[in-house]
Amino acid sequence: MSQEPPRMIGPHSFLLKGFASAEAASLLVDITSIGTQSPLRHMTTRRGYQLAAQMTNCGQLGWVSDSKGYRYQTDDPLTGQAWPAMPTSFLLLAKSAAQHCGFDNFIPDVCLINRYYPRAGMSLHQDKDEKDFSQPIVSVSLGIPAVFLFGGLRRSDTTTATLLEHGDVVVWGDEDRLRFHGIAPLKLAHHPLTGQCRFNLTFRRAH
Ligand code: MD3
Ligand code: FE
């Protein structure tokens, strides 16, 4: 559990420094198991570009991107099977982090898993493929650090930078939910539990 109170990174965004540290090793075991069922892969955009982070999902739904665009769907297009179930430990961690920040009724149906190697990043975007923007988003960072860029409601708004390290959990809600955000290209680093990579778990209520 977090040893310190939430740090505000926006009017409705909270950084819980080290909140998942104690569980990190077991989360990584679960990520490995999910990856044997629904492998991490580079998805492509509608315009045919590959996303720099590799992705998979667990839960009732998964986020996918391909030549038809972005959406949530119940089956993994790579395997033709349902996404692996969300481990109970993932669900409890996400609910507990949300509750810590004042969101009492968060029941995510998706956990998107991103894997970044050095030099991979994620350009500024909004997450708006979900139905109900009053539901928060919870993210868990594992492995090597990354710089999270947080903008405004317009792409051209200035961004602030926050370092996300192993075990950090962030909760985004209310008006911060639709702000542009991204991940700066990762610097080469090593973490004892993940080697040269960073995982990010993003919990959402999509439907
Ligand atoms: C802020 N992932 O998967 S974490 C994403 O570290 C994504 O992998 C980044 O952006 C990562 O879409 C950033 C979290 C995050 C997710 C959704 C948000 C931050 C957000 C939605 C609104 C505001
Ligand atoms: Fe996002």
Q: Over the stretch 12-40, which tens digit does the pLDDT of each residue have?
A: 999 999 999 999 999 999 999 999 999 99
Residue 199 clears pLDDT 90, i.e. is over it: yes
Cβ-Cβ contacts under 8 Å for 149 (sequence gap 6 or more): 124, 159, 160, 161, 181, 182, 183, 184
DSSP element (H, E) containing 163: strand 160-164
Minimum-distance ligand to the CA of 179? Answer: 1
Ligand 1 close to Cβ of residue 200 (< 6 A)? yes
Ligand 2 center from residue 86 Cα (angstroms): 19
- Tell me what the mean pLDDT of segment 168-181 comes to: 96
194 closest CA partner among 42, 21, 25: 25
| Spatial separation of the C-alpha atoms in residues 94 and 170, rounded to whole Å | 10
Task: Give, rounded to a whole angstrom, the gap between the first and last alpha carbons of the chain.
Answer: 29
- pLDDT the model gives residue 1: 53
Ligand 1 close to Cβ of residue 130 (< 6 A)? no
Ligand 1 center from residue 202 Cα (angstroms): 7
Calculate what percentage of the chain has a pLDDT beyond 70. Answer: 99
Ligand 1 atom closest to the Cα of residue 116 is 8
Calculate what percentage of the chain has a pLDDT beyond 90. Answer: 98
Q: How confident is the model over 55-82, as pLDDT tens digits?
A: 999 999 999 999 999 999 999 999 999 9
- pLDDT the model gives residue 44: 98
User: Is 0.95 surpassed by the pTM of this model?
Assistant: yes
Minimum-distance ligand to the CA of 57? Answer: 1
111 closest CA partner among 144, 78, 89, 131: 89
| Torsion angle in degrees (nearest 10) through CA of 94, 97, 98, 104 | 100
Given ligand 1 and candidates 16, 113, 133, 181, which is best to mutate, with the most ligand atoms within 8 Å of its CB?
Answer: 181
Closest CA to ligand 1's atom 22? 177
| Spatial separation of the C-alpha atoms in residues 23 and 57, rounded to whole Å | 19
Tell me the two tokens of residue 8: 């505000």
Q: What is the DSSP string of 90-142?
A: HHHHHHHHHHHTT-TT---SEEEEEEE-TT--EEEE----SS-TTS-EEEEEE
Tell me the two tokens of residue 76: 């993994």
Residue 4 clears pLDDT 90, i.e. is over it: no
| 70 and 64 Cβ atoms separated by less than 8 Å | yes
Ligand 1 center from residue 109 Cα (angstroms): 16
Ligand 1 center from residue 190 Cα (angstroms): 22
For 43, phi then psi, to 5°, come to -90, 160
Q: How confident is the model over 90-126, as pLDDT tens digits?
A: 999 999 999 999 999 999 999 999 999 999 999 999 9
Residue 3 clears pLDDT 90, i.e. is over it: no
Minimum-distance ligand to the CA of 115? Answer: 1
Ligand 1 close to Cβ of residue 122 (< 6 A)? yes
Ligand 2 center from residue 42 Cα (angstroms): 16
